[in-house]
Amino acid sequence: MYINLYKGVYAIYPAVNALMIVFSFVSISGIWSMEKWGAITFPVVVTIKIITDLIFSNFSGWYLLGYVVAIYFFTFYKQMRRSE
């Protein structure tokens, strides 16, 4: 992959990874308060995390379980409220 040509790119991986973890906690907070944006944000964050880990060659199949959790959250989507 072309990232091996630019060694400095790997220096940003911990920051990007930490940012994805923060965004996932924010989305879970939205789900906890039964907000629709939380249920939408969670699978988006999981997808971005998987793409980031694929780019940096740090992918684990366990991250796909995030989609199972997202499907569970979407079962309550109609009961969630829309924040204005």
Tens digits of per-residue pLDDT, 55-65? 888 888 888 99
- Whole-number mean pLDDT of the chain? 86
Whole domain around residue 21: which residue ranges? 8-79
Tokens of 47: 């997808």
Residue 3 is assigned to a structural domain of this protein: no
Residue 84 is assigned to a structural domain of this protein: no
Residue 2 is assigned to a structural domain of this protein: no
* Own/partner long-range contacts of 50-57 (Cβ < 8 Å, ≥24 apart): 52/13, 52/16, 52/17, 52/20, 55/3, 56/3, 56/10, 56/13, 57/1, 57/3
pTM of the model: 0.79
Collapsing DSSP to helix, strand or coil, 35 comes out as strand
Residue 22 is assigned to a structural domain of this protein: yes
Q: How confident is the model at residue 28 (pLDDT cuts 50, 70, 90)?
A: very high
- Domain total of the chain: 1
